[in-house]
Structure 1
């Protein structure tokens, strides 16, 4: 074994460990692996740049734009409205309707925005049938994964595997080539969820319920300590208000929040306190005469700065500018008058000393503040309201164009009029030119992190092939699996891909495992197609952890789940799908 091969194997191991460790985002890790290969001379710059000619990333980017047009023109909103009207009633009816619409939508567009948009609808439906949202949100996510396996454009992993296949001498995967076997997965998945979800899914309520209920008609008020106040010189911790139920939630000195250390300070003239109270209690503050107000209350009260306090749950979306930043650095109180009361992440609810925590995708925040401030925060697009669905201007007159475009892409791709990459570029151009979606919105809709994750992993895969590491690995697997036959090998490939997908990005797994199984099948004299399909299905079927798939990550926080909740319902489903794949795939794709 040469030094280069040993180095590649060590690098691949380091990449997998880094993915699981999550110290850096996966796209950074992937790009770093390619950068390292260039630094040590295994790849030259030209060889790495060749990965940018891969059709998969461009196709995926264009499909993000087309998905955005379906959302912007109200196609997805129509689905949401139908769901709201149809799903009321029994639990079984609700879960069936939710899963069906999630699955159908995900077959034609990216499933992450579908789950994000339907999550508030599902939470409100759960309340209407007096059930915890946690009984419905995992089924929503799983159904979107089922739907993604139905067509080539259902998930970026399918598009990527098609490109991997063609780059290794195999025919391009057809638009509906995987649909018939995928229907078996859908049928079994639906049956499983309908039978066991009521028993295996927990009753976990929202963060707002956990932290405490919100009293009616509370206000966020700002009071000023005047120069002659009796409060001056007293420790802040001894600051008492002449009313019952008022709560100090922030202290501002010289326009800087000192919330986290205010109990160690003494009150000075000009200090401002932000407190939560109701309108009648504010009158008591006014009569006390030791504080001042600066604006006016609603309903004709004397000068005061106050606004009605709302309590709202929100989640950090996958493209939020808040990702990776600390709460203490965001200035939400200064910009919007909004305060973070608690955070839900990774099985626990944090309601103190959390301002130094860096925010991640799927974190659920409990926010409190004035309606106007919360509205502005939502409009900035960095959070998603989980309390209720958000209305936005919908270009309904353009809906037929967006719908016909996606249907046209699928039909023409199935007829092999043009490669899917060319059709996707044409389709994305159509929806932008016809203003189904504005160009700014279109390019914002592209998840650049996924694209650069793919580029980085393609570079690593190229390094494995160039050094002979891939061939050596294939030979090793051939030796280990000798005698188990094609069916046993298919099962092994599915299980290995499935296990890796639960720990790291499904696209990363597809790029690494795809070329290896093609080479393995060819060396054994078998048709690579069933093994390509096994990798494609297994890389999408991530059920046992909340970190293997973005939709699972999102509902993880929104539903208040614990890690073990996914293990409990996901592991049996993974096992069932592995056995099902072994039985069904050879029926449609013989060895």
Structure 2
């Protein structure tokens, strides 16, 4: 196959991959692997190229860092720090933002920022409820500060490791773990100051999905009633009846008919019949109202209740929960997921793209970042949470920590950083050894270690490494580099640096940051070679720009997590993120050449 045709085919595959990313036709990792499969099937990439893709050390390093980060979460190291936040912040929003920056930025410098955000989310939600502050004033700063912290060290974010690994494969000197720290500290300081003095005043004062609850719903109970012979409720619609309407906040979990669950009829379509048994959630006041009502008989025998094992007057809980990126609920509606029948849990509301849905949400396809309001027995909610279907925003449902191992986990991470900083071992070797050690020392179970690895991220990286290698092998990267220079023939390296940074951070808002880092790295190296300058400034620009996702809630995973939890709209990220992105762009363009001369 002629090289020119291979280049054209590579660009077609690249365009298709980017379009699929933007349109979200398929999961990003599957899209990237499809691109890799096409390039292998058409002969653009060979078996030896496949070996080169999987020999890249970056994915192995990233996987090991996922395990190290999970060990800190599992032992409670991050949780202990997070809970100091409530004590130090007091009741002041101003102090809360300052303390948040002082904690989150350093933490994110040495571990993946996603677990930092996951641990802090329920802490900040609890803080907002106890102080009367709105969570929407805190959650965007949480995500943005974690992103800023990730730029301080090489291990702070996966994009840094990817750019370093790719550049080393192309003959460039390896990046040290603290080589980017000088610029990263300035970058984080500038971003933090913006959030404190300007950004926090642009944040909305908005309710979260939990605000849909009535103020009196502080304690809820599961109970059951039977429809007796000649009851006036026979023939009436279940949901329409005043006793069990959503307006009264009395939520029916299950209907038993002839001793069996009513499986084939949605709750909102059930017409009551004689001897029907209803299992429902209500407050103590509503229980008294139902007990005094005509047409129903309270059931007091455990044997008459459903298979869920819920006992008479069992206290239930209402929690906010975020759909995670690997949740089994993604792509299924509330009705299709059968959460109510399988777990005895009711989905009372859904937050989606800035809107709190109370009606008509049963048939909405759930997606990563959706926030659900769940109501049900505590044990049932904990079971569903432990299966990884969602992230609870209620601290009471957090898993117990292995506190006796906390100092072991911290010491292992510190050793990984130290030996790689001193050049005793590469960051890949140190991270892999550290990941093994946290399992051997009992900081993390082997099963939890495998679960901690975000395999979709790794497969996305491998797929995009294939597309990036095809760009290099076919001359596509060099062709793009020459055309970029041709568009700005009289421009110096500083202008090209500004263009590379700008293009990288814009693309990051449209597609995944790892894909942008992989594609831009060979292009930057080709541009530097054509201009006969050092490529290092361009590579650093890609590291920072590919992490600088502040404009949309979909460009970076932490933004997606806080999107639903904070009750945000898409426009909120634009309002706060656009000025921050432009300020950091200017900061980077001015300072990168001072740290890494052309």
Q: State whether TM-score is above 0.5.
A: yes
Corresponding residue number in structure 2 for 1:80: 82
Does residue 277 of structure 2 align to residue 272 of structure 1? Answer: yes
Corresponding residue number in structure 1 for 2:306: none
Deviation larger for 398-407 or 133-142: 398-407
Corresponding residue number in structure 1 for 2:107: 105
2:392 aligned residue (380, 385, 389): 385
1:424 aligned residue (423, 431, 449): 431
Corresponding residue number in structure 2 for 1:318: 325
1:127 aligned residue (107, 113, 129): 129
For 1:280 and 1:439, the matched residues in 2 are separated by 47
Q: Quote how far apart the aligned CAs of 1:56 are.
A: 0.7
Query: Is the Cα contact below 8 Å between 2:254 and 2:340 reproduced in 1?
Result: no
Corresponding residue number in structure 2 for 1:60: 62
Query: Is the Cα contact below 8 Å between 1:293 and 1:304 reproduced in 2?
Result: no
Query: Is the Cα contact below 8 Å between 1:233 and 1:266 reproduced in 2?
Result: yes
Does the C-alpha gap of structure 1 residues 233 and 120 become closer, same or farther in structure 2, counting only changes over 3 Å? closer
Does the C-alpha gap of structure 1 residues 319 and 346 become closer, same or farther in structure 2, counting only changes over 3 Å? same
Q: Quote how far apart the aligned CAs of 1:470 are.
A: 1.8
Does the C-alpha gap of structure 1 residues 291 and 197 become closer, same or farther in structure 2, counting only changes over 3 Å? same
Query: Is the Cα contact below 8 Å between 1:34 and 1:460 reproduced in 2?
Result: yes
The CA deviation string for residues 383-439 of structure 1, in whole angstroms up to 9 with x for no partner, is 222133644332223222211211111121122112111111111111111111111
Corresponding residue number in structure 2 for 1:219: 221
Unaligned runs of 5+ in 2: 303-309
Q: Quote how far apart the aligned CAs of 1:555 are.
A: 0.5
Other structure's SS at 2:362 match: coil
Q: Quote how far apart the aligned CAs of 1:464 are.
A: 1.6
Corresponding residue number in structure 2 for 1:545: 552
Other structure's SS at 1:349 match: strand
For 1:246 and 1:499, the matched residues in 2 are separated by 45
2:151 aligned residue (124, 149, 152): 149
Deviation larger for 342-351 or 372-381: 372-381
For 2:194 and 2:553, the matched residues in 1 are separated by 19
Corresponding residue number in structure 1 for 2:541: 534
Query: Is the Cα contact below 8 Å between 2:251 and 2:282 reproduced in 1?
Result: no
Does residue 359 of structure 2 align to residue 357 of structure 1? Answer: no
Deviation larger for 35-44 or 87-96: 35-44
Query: 4+ residue runs of structure 1 moved beyond 6 angstroms?
Result: none
Does the C-alpha gap of structure 1 residues 278 and 75 become closer, same or farther in structure 2, counting only changes over 3 Å? closer
1:344 aligned residue (338, 348, 351): 351
Number of residue-to-residue matches in the alignment: 585
Q: Quote how far apart the aligned CAs of 1:538 are.
A: 0.4
Deviation larger for 151-160 or 378-387: 378-387
Does the C-alpha gap of structure 1 residues 418 and 238 become closer, same or farther in structure 2, counting only changes over 3 Å? closer
Query: Is the Cα contact below 8 Å between 1:80 and 1:118 reproduced in 2?
Result: yes
Corresponding residue number in structure 1 for 2:165: 163
For 2:596 and 2:195, the matched residues in 1 are separated by 27
For 1:333 and 1:94, the matched residues in 2 are separated by 38
Other structure's SS at 2:375 match: strand
For 1:238 and 1:478, the matched residues in 2 are separated by 68
Other structure's SS at 2:155 match: helix
The CA deviation string for residues 73-114 of structure 1, in whole angstroms up to 9 with x for no partner, is 221122112212211142221101012211111111111011
Deviation larger for 381-390 or 495-504: 381-390
Other structure's SS at 1:368 match: strand
Query: Is the Cα contact below 8 Å between 2:382 and 2:397 reproduced in 1?
Result: no
Does the C-alpha gap of structure 1 residues 390 and 3 become closer, same or farther in structure 2, counting only changes over 3 Å? same
Alignment RMSD (CA, Å): 2.5
2:46 aligned residue (33, 44, 47): 44
Corresponding residue number in structure 2 for 1:300: none
Corresponding residue number in structure 2 for 1:404: 411
Does the C-alpha gap of structure 1 residues 227 and 87 become closer, same or farther in structure 2, counting only changes over 3 Å? same
Unaligned runs of 5+ in 1: 298-302
